[in-house]
Structure 1
């Protein structure tokens, strides 16, 4: 269990090619609202990261330097997600793919001469077990892809590795079919999605609780 003043940073992403409505940008503020009631005394901060190679990473650096979070949980969407995919590691690579601004990465790696892989510092197995006990589909993933999700995870872990502060950093992929329609901003869910909107909030609370080493206080 973490002691002392704890700041938890929750981030989602904006839209990008093939995902014009990214549910994580709406999920994280709603999750933080629920988490403030479920985990008294914890400070929650939320941000939406731009889905751009340069701006996204630059924004991430600013958040870690300015907020100095004890815990950072980053959320993104993936067409391969079968439910909650808890990423076990980030990889020092970039796919030659356009970002939301149509720009391609300038390098095939995130950090020259950096480690090929960096392990997530959240209790991945414990998170998956806790989600499954709630009846939610949850899996350990060892491949965060080669897009901004992986870049965010690897960059955050690399910053933490070179910092003297204690950090717990993780990344959660949700199904890209968790699309939120404009007409139903709180409840719109794709019929083929394995998660409901309520599942996403409930599971998010369990992920936070497992990372903090605390039970979820349900009112």
Structure 2
């Protein structure tokens, strides 16, 4: 099974993004039943999704698992739904090119929301069984992560592609919490274990 997995560069003033570190580690992994390809995305509205869609069209995977950072969360959280809006509320950081969209649709004329087609409940159950904090999330926000998830699902919908896709948010890493001790975190090794579990679950659910 061909699986495309994406992560992001650092943003919001942080020097690292654990999902970028996960992509570097995953590139060395061998998961039975899976052929893995990783891609690192820019934290920039639209460009992030453009790049992932281009990789998707070139690689032709059966599954896309996009990964992002949700600093402040305490668990690994597969997202249930992406919404058709990009919006940065006052006080929040812009994307890495300084863009601050407010109440803008991601794609005019497309559905208000699109659901993940990954087996998110099974993924969460398997992570919990492996001792990894995990939960289904019902909001991917309105920032880059939601933008990426929505665009990928919309492209699959429009072209009726035989691809399952979705998004997973990860907490801050322990490395990040050294400078921000009040921020919940998980060790990068635990997050890599979570990604392995999710990939194995997707293969088993095929």
**Fold shared, TM-score > 0.5 on shorter chain:** yes
Q: C-alpha separation between the residues in 1 aligned to 2:174 and 2:2?
A: 27
Q: What does residue 23 of structure 1 align with?
A: 18
The answer as to 2:64 corresponding to 1:68 is: no
> Runs of 4+ in structure 1 displaced over 6 angstroms?
188-191
The one of 117, 120, 141 aligned to 2:116: 120
Provide the aligned C-alpha RMSD in A.
2.3
Q: Displacement, 1:107?
A: 6.6
Q: Displacement, 1:193?
A: 4.2
Q: What does residue 132 of structure 2 align with?
A: 136
Q: What does residue 172 of structure 1 align with?
A: 168
TM-score, structure 1 normalization? 0.83
Ranges in structure 1 where 5+ consecutive residues have no aligned partner? 1-5, 182-187, 215-219
The one of 158, 173, 182 aligned to 1:162: 158
Question: CA offsets, 1:154-180, max 9 Å, x none?
Answer: 111111112233111121111134446
More displaced stretch, 157-166 vs 141-150:
157-166
Question: CA offsets, 1:2-51, max 9 Å, x none?
Answer: xxxx21111100122233311211112312422x2x315x3211110010
Q: C-alpha separation between the residues in 1 aligned to 2:61 and 2:5?
A: 10
Q: What does residue 44 of structure 1 align with?
A: 36
Question: CA offsets, 1:66-93, max 9 Å, x none?
Answer: 1121111111111232110110111111
How many positions carry a matched residue from both structures?
A: 200
Ranges in structure 2 where 5+ consecutive residues have no aligned partner? none
